[in-house]
Structure formats: structure tokens, C-alpha cells
Amino acid sequence: MNDKSRPKYLEPGQPIEIRVEDLIGRMTLEEKMRQMGMHSITQLLKDGKFSHKLAQEFFKDMGIGAMQVPHLNPEDSAEAINELQKFLKDDTRLGIPALVISECLHGFMSPGATIFPQAIGLASTWDIDLFRDIAAAAAKEARSVGVSQVLAPDLDLAREPRWGRTEETYGEDPYLCARMGVEYIKGIQGEGPAVDGEHVIATVKHFAAHGSPEGGVNLSPVPAGERQLRELYLPPFKAAVMEAGALSVMPAYSEFDGIPCSSSKMLLTKILRDEWGFKGYVFSDFTAINMLVDMHHTAETLEEAGKQALNAGMDMEAPSIQAFGEGLMKLVQKGEVAEELIDRAVSRILRVKFLAGLFENPYVSVERAAEVINCDNHRKLALKAAHESIILLKNKDGLLPLDRDIESIAVIGPNADIAQLGDYSIEKEGTVTLLQGIRNKVSPKTKVSYAKGCGIYELSKAGFSEAVEAARSSRVAVVAVGCASMIKCGIGWCDSNDNAATCGEGYDRTDLELPGIQQELVEELVKTGTPTIVVLVNGRPLSILWISENAHAILEAWYPGEEGGNALADIIFGDVNPSGKLPVSFPKTVGQIPIYYNYKPSARGFYHEPGSLEKPGRDYVFMDTNPLYAFGYGLSYTEFEYSDLDVTPNKISPYDKTTVSVNVKNVGNREGREVIQLYINDEVSSVTTPVKTLRGFKKVNLKPGEKQRISFTLTPDDLSLLDEYMRTVVEPGVFEVMAGGLKKKFKVK
């Protein structure tokens, strides 16, 4: 350091605002702008080791805003990141550490790290305590190697299931998404506002409305207005900022109402900062600012794109410095961009670095990284998460659970002996397939036959005969069908398991049928007369009407993580009672889209005369308007009975709260977990409101004969709507509450 006295920004006892102000005052324009960009540590490695020579050539005595984590084993990653931070501390003029960035959609995305069920599967648990534990475990693994910020959670709403990124979301409902998102952020960041050495900075994405693209095509515009934006798409982000204290926000690639999200002053300044009081920083999606030039065409040059994004409220560019580079710096030097805007962005970034404790604790223990990554406790947590994420959709005549002493079982299908892990994960040793899980579970006397049958999307039926024979000669057939998602390997995108992906980022569909000839395979197996259990391994809702009508049992597994095979076997053989519930609705056919549960009163037809080929009708000539499986649906091996739904008080003012209570009893003969779901309906309102809206849920464990009384508090926020003038109000009138098939009314006076 050039200063003889210790600068204020290096004094931990100083308020963060003072430290930021002091540091900004010491920085050159170029040093400031370097803080507004990201680079990859991989480009500073030589033979897998951090290269001081490459670092000197790149940094030139200046720091950097953020660096992307190297995809190395835990010890090598920790060592490389330590070397990076040491270089920045000792060999740059101001010694500013870097934020180290990684993905963490369903676990820390790094070689050997724990892979939990994909996000859509995590949402299927409906268990907020489990959610926080999973996030905390992922954060601990990430921080152990020196990562300080992760690009998660994804708070997009999955209201367009053709969209390949449906698997990354927490489903179709803003309330469920908000509750899950808040817990994930608290698990990732801790209780805040500072981030300790066991946690990392959360980045909520993709702000906003990204999950309902036109035609289901990734990055397409979202056909919605401001009312839908505020009623549906913003609540999860608002909760993430105002309740959970998220420190970073990533705008969506897409546009909203003609304005790209990366240059939307309404989103990034008016709503995020002015309305919600966001104090973190805005991190661009990778090459999103460039897209203002080459996709949205709102800017002619990169420097113009940088100016648009900066003016709107963008603070850091990823994955490299282009739009926030020399061109933008020249605009500042010419006076065409105010340097105050640069100071604003850099101040936000530095504030987060101080909150993360990077100036005081930039290093990690290399030995501890190896101990933490995929430790026994985290692997057990992955198994528990898989148990609770799997959904029983059908169980004809109680076929499931099976006896582990069953004489013979055929395990069939393209996903039977492959561990589909889902987008944003890296293949690893030790992942458990369905076939492995079943072999681990059955008795030594059980004959287990395996046949692939067909590929995910290939049209060859060469494997049909082997599969049919395996089913015909077995007491039961378990067939795993579905999709293949992508895996990010660190050097770009690559196909999963040598198969082309059919789901994941940029892998959208025009239909929701099983790809290829998988349904034909299932049809042939059902024809054998052998009881057939279908296991869906997929990342989006599928149209499986024929399978629903003809298979004996159906399990929705999503992408169940590294312990998925063991979890499925535990459920198939009854060691675990399935308790997952759908976070997204399944259509009977793609033509029913949109099919989400919280539709408006006019949305499911006027005539209500469902038709068929035998008798055409109205509204759809040959179909009804109901989903195949609705949001919140999921069966159990036991049964639950609801009674005594009550609202107290049943008359309130618009400013009061009321309590809704209901009894839930396990009336079956197995212990089980049930998700109590509370919905409301505003019967008459000045603007249209959904026929029902989720306003509470709780997952409980009940032994046979056990009963619990569950209570929820409804607040004015829960009862509010946006009126004609976009004001948040609670209107007088009658409200209906619904839980477990029961209904009760109360009045707002």
C-alpha cells in the first residue's frame, strides 16, 4: 500500500458505509470499472495451478469484481482460490478481494459436491425446514473451497411447461415459490445482514417474469401486463429482498413490455430499490448486456448497451468485461456517462464484499474443503430430500409398496440405469440409479432382470423384445421413462450421458409427450399383463394420459439427485411412505396450456360441456379443461381425514387478522407425512381474482390414528388485491377458505 497510515477501509471496526466511501475515494476510474466485471479463474490456471504470471498479465496491479470458480476437485479449487485472493491482496495496488462465483441451483456445482434433487423436486417436498437445511449444506460446501457468491435460487414461475428451464423452478405458484425461496436464501446467506464463513451470498434470478416465455421458447418475451407482473411474478422476488435480505439480483435475459430486463429502469431501480429498498448489487446474466445489441437490438454498440444497463441499475457484467469495458470508460471520460453512476455501482459491489467478510477472511482451509464436500451428513440429507420429493401419482389396488422378497422384478427403460441429475450439476461417481437402488433393496432370492428397451428420443425398437420378455417373465415391471437434462461441465455446455438433452436451458418443446417411442415401450409392457409401475424421471410436466389410464402405479421422481435410486427403492418397497406434492399442474395434452391451478373465473370455459371423439362438445370439442394432475396433488400409502375447519374470528375489518384451523388425522395403518394446504377465494371483488389462491401450507408427520390441529394466520396482505388503480387494498366482502376438501366462509366488513 502507498499510504503510510492504515486506511479506514481496512479497519474492521469502521461502519461499512465509511469503509466503502474511503475505498471509492482512493480508486482510479479504471480500478472502479474493473470492479464492475467478472473473469474466470480457469483462464489464470496453468496445468491446473494458479499462475502468478498469467495473473500479473491480466490484473496489471488492479483488482476485479468477481471470478468464476474453477471446476477442480475440492482441494485444488480451494488452493487456486486462496492463491487468487492472496495475489489480489498482496500484488494489486488496493488489495481488494474478489467475489468468487458458482452455481448452486440444487447443490454446489463442483466436482464431487453433493447433488440434491433438482429444484422442481425440492419444491415437491413442500418442507421449508428441509429446504433451509439443504441450502445451508450447499452453502457450506461452496464456502469451504472459497466461493463467496452463488447464482441461486431461481424464482421464476413455471407457468409455461414447454419451457426447458421449468426444472430449475419451484413451480407455478407465487406463494409456494416465495416461501421456498425465502428459506433457501436464509440457508444460503444465514440470518444476515453479514455473511459468515459458513454461508455465501445468494443471487435471486431471473428478475422478472422469465418463466412464461412466448411459445415456451427460452428468452422470448413474456406476454403479460403490469398487473400480472405485480400479482404473480414479483411476489417471490419481493419476499427474497424484503424478508430474506438477498444481497444480489440477476435480471432475466428476456424483455418485459418492450424493455429488456437488463436495461429496465422500472425493474432495476423503481421496483427493486425505490419500492423494496434493495441494498445489494445487480449481477448480469452471462452475456445479457451484449444481448441488448445482438438479440434485443435496443443498442447499436457494446458501449451503448453498457450505458443503457448502467443507467437502469445494473452493477456488474458477467462472464467477462465487455460492455462495461474500455468503450464505456471512454464515454465517462467524455462526460457522456456520469462518473457518479460508476461510483454508485462500485459502492454497491464493495458493500457486499464487506458484508461477506472478504477483506478480513479471504482464505479457506484446503484440508477442510475435502472434509466438507459430500460428507456423510450431506449425503444423508440428499437421500431425505429425494424421499420427500418423490410423488405417488397413481396406485391401483394398492400395488405399492412391493414386498422386498418378491420372486422376480423387471427393471426397464432408458432412465432405469442412468442417474439423470438435471441441469446445473456435474456427473460424479457414486450416484445411484434406479436399477442399483432396487438391487440394493431386494432379498438375495429375488431375480432382477434389466432391459433398456429404447433410448430417450431414438426411434429404434430393437430393444423392445428383450424388455417385453423381461416383463413377461417377472411378477412386476418397473419402467423408468422421461427426459434427459443437461450437465454443465465448466468449459461450456455438454450433453448428458452421451444423449442429446430434451430438457434444460435452451431445450424447449412443442409437445409434452414422452420423447421418442417411450410410450410405445410402456404400452407393450402393459400388454404383457404384468403389473407395471411407471417411474417418471423428468424436468417438466408431461402429458401422460394413456399411461395414467393404463399403468398400475406411477411415481414422479423428477431428477432425484445422487441418492435418487436408493430413495425410489425405499418408496417402492415401503421403507418410506411417499409424501411429495406437485408444485406444478400436469396437462392431459399440450393444447390445454396454460393449465395452472390459480386461474381466473372465466379461464376454464363457459359452456362446461366437455367433449370426446365419441361425442364432441364445448368448450374444447374433444377434451375437457381440467388438468390430468393438479397442483398440490400427491398420494400416500396411508389416508388422511380432515375435519372441523374453522375461521376465528369469522368477521374482521380490512386491517385485522384471522386464524384458520383444521383437524388432520391419519386414518390408515401406516405412518405418513401430509401437506396441509390452505387456499382462499375472494367471492366478489372489484377486479377479477383467481378461483383459489394458496395462502398457507404445513407438512406434518402422523402415526396411524394420530390427529393434529393445524392453524394458519391470514393477514391483510393475504386478503389483498390490486384494485383498478393498482393500489393494494383489502375489500369488504365474503371470503372462502379451503383445506383438504373442506370449505368455510368468513366476512371482511
> Catalytic positions, please?
285
Nearest Cα neighbor of 401 from 390, 413, 385 is: 390
Cell numbers for 43:
483462464
- Burial-class residue 619 by CB neighbours within 10 Å (0-12, 13-18, 19+): middle
The backbone torsions φ and ψ at residue 697, rounded to the nearest 5 degrees and listed phi first, read -155, 155
Asked if residue 640 lies in contact with residue 672, where contact means CB atoms within 8 angstroms, the answer is: yes
Nearest Cα neighbor of 223 from 593, 689, 688 is: 593
Q: Which helix (H) or strand (E) holds 389?
A: helix 376-389
The C-alpha R_g of the chain, in whole angstroms, comes to 27
The backbone torsions φ and ψ at residue 291, rounded to the nearest 5 degrees and listed phi first, read -65, -15
DSSP character at residue 42: G
Rounded to 5°, the CA angle 569-574-578 comes to: 85
Q: Which residues of 25-42 are buried (b: 16+ CB within 10 A; e: fewer)?
A: eebeeebbbbbbbbbbbb
Rounded Cα gap, residues 680 and 733, in angstroms: 13
Rounded to 5°, the CA angle 504-580-603 comes to: 70
Rounded Cα gap, residues 159 and 694, in angstroms: 15
- Burial-class residue 397 by CB neighbours within 10 Å (0-12, 13-18, 19+): exposed
Rounded Cα gap, residues 583 and 122, in angstroms: 9
Asked if residue 233 lies in contact with residue 160, where contact means CB atoms within 8 angstroms, the answer is: no
Pairing of strands 248-251, 255-256: unpaired
Asked if residue 23 lies in contact with residue 333, where contact means CB atoms within 8 angstroms, the answer is: no
Question: Which residue(s) pair with 673 in the sheet?
Answer: 701
Q: Is the peptide bond before 560 cis (omega within 30 degrees of 0)?
A: no
Asked if residue 581 lies in contact with residue 675, where contact means CB atoms within 8 angstroms, the answer is: yes
Rounded Cα gap, residues 117 and 580, in angstroms: 12
Rounded to 5°, the CA angle 105-106-112 comes to: 110
Rounded Cα gap, residues 552 and 300, in angstroms: 59
- In angstroms, the Cα distances linking 514 to 352, 517, 528, 575, 582 are 45, 8, 21, 29, 18
Cell numbers for 442:
431386494
- Cα 180 off chain centre by: 9
Asked if residue 213 lies in contact with residue 159, where contact means CB atoms within 8 angstroms, the answer is: no
Cell numbers for 334:
467524455
Question: Which residue(s) pair with 21 in the sheet?
Answer: none
Rounded Cα gap, residues 47 and 394, in angstroms: 53
Rounded Cα gap, residues 85 and 102, in angstroms: 16
Per DSSP, the three-state class of 647 is strand
The backbone torsions φ and ψ at residue 189, rounded to the nearest 5 degrees and listed phi first, read -95, -20
Rounded Cα gap, residues 233 and 177, in angstroms: 10
